[in-house]
Chain A
Amino acid sequence: MAVITIDGKCLTVPDNKNILQCALDNGIYIPHLCHHKDLNPLGSCRLCIVEVEGREGVTPSCMLEAEDGMVVHTKTPEVERLRILALELLLTGHPEDCSTCPKYGNCELQQLIQYVGPKTGRMKMRTKGFKTQEENPLIIHDMNRCVLCGRCVRACNELRGVKVLQYQKKDMETYVGTVHDRLLKDADCRFCQACVEVCPTGTIRDKLADANKKKEDVVVPCRHACPAHTDIPRYIRYVKEGKYDEAAAVIREKLPIPKSLGYICTHACELECKRKELGEPMSIRNIKRYAAEHDSGSLWKGKGKQLPDTGKKVCVVGGGPCGLSAAYYLRKQGHAVTIKEELPTAGGMMAYGIPAYRLPRDIIAEEVQLIEEQGVRIETGTKVEKPVELLKEYDAVLMAIGGHNGVRLPMEGSSLPGVILNADFLRNASMGKETGMGERIIVLGGGNVAFDCARTAKRLGAKEIHLACLEAREVMTADDEEILQAQEEGIFVHPAQTFERITGEEHVTGVDFMNVESFTFDENRRAIIQKEEGSEHHIDGDTVIFAVGQRPDITPEAGLELGRANSIAVKDMEKDKSTSVEGIFAAGDAIYGTKSVVMAVESGREAASQIDRYLGGDGDISEVLAPVETANSYIGECKGFAYLERKEPLVDAPEERSDNFRLYDHGICEQDICAEAGRCLQCDLRLQISAPSLWGDFTKATGGAEE
């Protein structure tokens, strides 16, 4: 250790630590630009110069190593004169007008100008005349604003080891760029965006900026898009390293049913994945599936949180993903939890809605068993008619009853024999019961459930299947994958159709349709449909399946206030899930309508936390299962990184899969999984980079001691 004095303040610092960092770490601000805490000192901007007693001249403090007895002055007249001159020179190659810069108000250089106060008007100002490079995905380069602090070059080379950005020179003008000014994707950029993060000016910027969102959410959009905020980049990194137990533990910190989700999650994360700007997004769901399938459980089995018993009893009505999740976390908080499930097994829509060819039933059973092993009691075949009565026995009740009533559109012929509802059809099919289906099926609806119906009908032996929906093909709500696979299986898809009437006298004979010319919503969110004149046409069929939504199976007789679309009314969809009856909470599809399994899990987690608080707990259901470690930020070079193609899962051929309920999608194979995980941009590494030290932060910290 060395004892040094900076501006009269005596500090004990490690030997050889650079003086600038010593000062900053001890609340003494020295202006600096090229210096960044995470990067090696460069000593080019000369703003951090100081005088050392007994030494001639000035020295940049970033290049000055602490020695015992050193006495440093950061504000002598000579230091300030040279600092002003340095900044004055630096600014001759920078645009004078800050107000048009996207970084205005958020710019380190602008703050330095305010602090140092350089002279103006003496020197030759110039515009460098570079063209703003906007052709790259994710990153904008405007070299006219660059002051050559070299942070991006060091971040790219030293911090990341990607070695794409280098100093270049053209016509005596130095700039930062790729060799031969290649586009980033052709220069093997890994799009980690570290350069954006360290740039102190508006030179290197994010293309996808959004001032209204939290920085973390914009930088790592996949994690933000996941309803449960699973730490996606973290588990992808573990999968890349072949550490599947660690990966699964990361997932399990947020999701108690990772395997099931690995098969059927609607993966909102993939829609937001930044990799899609370079081509196709990461195959996040399949990576999750691979991790969950190769997890030995060594990191979480019997290791997670389990608080001592509280003596409180909770009844969860409904054993779907929402109810299971809520029960699991409530149990971990120490409460005695009983799930009452109406159907013969737990799983809810996962078991009675989603067909077995997408989610094998043994997977659900396995995950349900783990939840039971945690101490949750599950009573199947128990329908709860009067939840209020449960309060006699339980301290709290959670209604997680999902939406098991299909919607029948009020249209001509909708009550004819041969008209079936989606929920009933899928439930009967799942239970091996008679579905009432004929041979020529018309499914009305364009979501994933509609496709589940159509493809289930196919597997049950229907001869001809048509699927029609109001939306145009591009805006159909079903996953593209579902639509394409259904078509491969011989299902006819008819987008942009209005359902005029179901025809038939005694029994369904078909449906009359018209083509939709345009389908929009007015300001009151009411649908406005323009039909194409004279486009009436008829499709023959003996069965019509409505797949236009489901509603909770509940009536006012249950004693709870109901809201829109027969949902259970809660005080606040997210923050307060209590119902009109004290002690009774509700969550999942039952409160917000049909969404997704992962939404249900998150809703269940939130409900668990709120119920725990209601029962006197702290509501903190978080747990740490995966090792807490800092990811390696040195990602290195990777040839052709931008061109790496998304690895596709192994899928059985249509003729092999469409006459049975066996799992047909086998996920990404062992040979491909590492490569797929390796495509990740690792956007989260950017959040590891230290924030800049700005003088404003110092004046605040020292209570305005700075003049």
Chain B
Amino acid sequence: MRNLSREELLDKIEECGIQEYGLCSGSLRGRIGEAAAKMEKTGGQGAIVCALNNADLDGILLDLLKDEPEKVMNGIDIAALALGAEKKTLHIPEYAQHLADDAVLTEMLGQHQISLEVGIVDVRADAACLLLHLVTAVELAEAFAQDAAAKACYYVSVNGKKLQRVEGSARIAELADIGDAKVLRLGYAYYPAEAAQLTVAEARIENGVIAVLPSGECIVRDAQEQMTASRKQSCGKCVFCREGLLQLQFMQKEIAEGRGKMDYLDLTEEIGSAMTFSGMCTLGQTAPKLALSAVSSFREEYEGHIRKKKCSAGACFSAETYYIDPKLCTGCGDCSDVCPQDCIEGKAKYIHMIDTVDCGRCGKCLEACGDGAVVCTEGKLPKLPNRLTKVGKFRR
């Protein structure tokens, strides 16, 4: 390919019919043309910025860097030649920072003269940059290697398992065991279980995510977690992304914890739908779709949380309450060591206390306690210490 002129490269890309993968759709040939025009207009240095969509919170497609690193880098090289740009960067999200320490990867990047940057892509940085999805880079490399038309393909991972390459026509049900699950998270949205009949292309699984929510997991809580993850990912410059995500997260949290109001459903809809076109990058535009789809597809579930304090997954408002008997606690700390929610307060030789609001009712503390001090009850709580108290000093 290095023997080809820029024009020939562009013609070949056109011929292969490569489409940009993910959220910034469009033909690759067309996108290169736009970037080149901007380069000319601004006199700026063009650059290839290869990355996932900023909206990707799971980073599943980063496995391509492990599975097909040579293809990714060849793809970047071809795109750079086609654009006539010198600068090439590969962005990895902050949550995948460990990749920056991967010796093999960094050496390969060095060979290809591609610089590595941690963090989401700053879409404001340079208008003459060509944003290239990792998958597009792979497709581009393959098309040139096989000298054939590009084959649109999808990479998916079911419940975080190994990344696999599938046809767009593959049905979700064929790929994942749905069982009695009620909620699916496919791509950037939630779906009811019936959506398992959709194909990968129809469900627009552009981030590789097929997640089957186990029956014990609540959609409201899951949506809240997704909003939190999005907030962590956000650069915070655009008002709608920064403040909108915070509001969405807050409302999901309030609803999950039984403080929700019916107004929140409309407000989630109002803020979420405005966000889809009010942010600069795919993060702010796409993250609200999770909340929007959750509220619209699972409205009954939301209303149940708000009106009846009822969670069909049984994750919220459990009748069971865990507490630590202040007479029996020896202050050993075994319970707080195992608590996944980190909601047991205490220190050595002090009576430990469980925060019942944050408690996930997993029962791990009950098992861990050697003194039988952790109690699970459906009845009323006895009088418990409300501040750190030395073992043996608690008086009713």
Contact = CB atoms under 8 A, between A and B. Distances in A.
B246 A92 contact: yes
Contacts of B246: 92-93, 124, 126, 172
Interface string B222-242: 000000100110111111101
A86 B270 CA distance: 11
Interface in B21-59: none
Contacts of B235: 167, 169, 174
A124 B278 contact: no
B95 interface: no
B243 interface: yes
B147 interface: no
Nearest to A168: B236
Contact of A92 (B236, B243, B263, B270): B243
Given A122-B267, A124-B246, A172-B231, A44 B277 contact: no
Interface in B175-221: none
B236 A86 contact: no
Interface string A187-217: 0000000000000000000000000000000
B274 interface: yes
Interface in A38-61: 42-46, 57-58
A85 B124 CA distance: 23
A123 B278 contact: no
Given A82-B278, A85-B270, 10 more contacts: A43-B238, A46-B239, A58-B277, A82-B274, A89-B239, A92-B243, A167-B236, A172-B228, A172-B231, A174-B237
A92 B247 contact: yes
10 contacts: A46-B239, A58-B277, A82-B274, A89-B244, A89-B247, A92-B246, A93-B246, A122-B267, A126-B246, A174-B236
B237 A42 contact: yes
B353 interface: no
A617 B357 CA distance: 85
A390 interface: no
A90 B237 contact: no
Contacts of B384: none
Interface string A529-556: 0000000000000000000000000000
A55 B253 CA distance: 37
Interface in A459-493: none
Interface string A115-135: 000000011101000000000
B243 A90 contact: yes
A150 interface: yes
Contacts, number: 68
Contacts of B280: 43-44
Interface of A: 42-46, 57-58, 82, 85-86, 89-90, 92-93, 122-124, 126, 147-148, 150, 167, 169, 172-174
Given A57-B277, A85-B270, A122-B263, A44 B237 contact: yes
Nearest to B251: A124
Name the prevailing secondary structure of the B interface residues. helix
A169 B244 contact: no
Interface string B279-313: 01000000000000000000000000000000000
Contact of A45 (B124, B239, B277): B239
A425 to B, nearest CB: 70
A89 B237 contact: no
B250 interface: yes
A42 B125 CA distance: 10
A630 B80 CA distance: 41
B240 A148 contact: no
Interface string B246-273: 1100110000000000010001001100
B235 to A, nearest CB: 7
Select the residue from B228, B232, B239, B263 with max chain A CB neighbours within 10 A: B239
A678 B242 CA distance: 40
A173 B251 CA distance: 18
Nearest to A86: B239
Contact of B239 (A90, A123, A167, A172): A90
Given A90-B239, A150-B237, A42 B124 contact: yes
List of 6 A-B pairs having minimum Cβ-Cβ separation, nearest first: A174-B236, A89-B243, A124-B250, A172-B231, A44-B238, A90-B239
A122 B238 CA distance: 20
B240 A123 contact: no
Contacts of A147: 239
Contacts of A172: 228, 231-232, 246
Contacts of A93: 242-243, 246
Nearest to B241: A44
Contact of B240 (A42, A57, A89): A89
Contacts of A86: 239-240, 278
B267 A85 contact: no
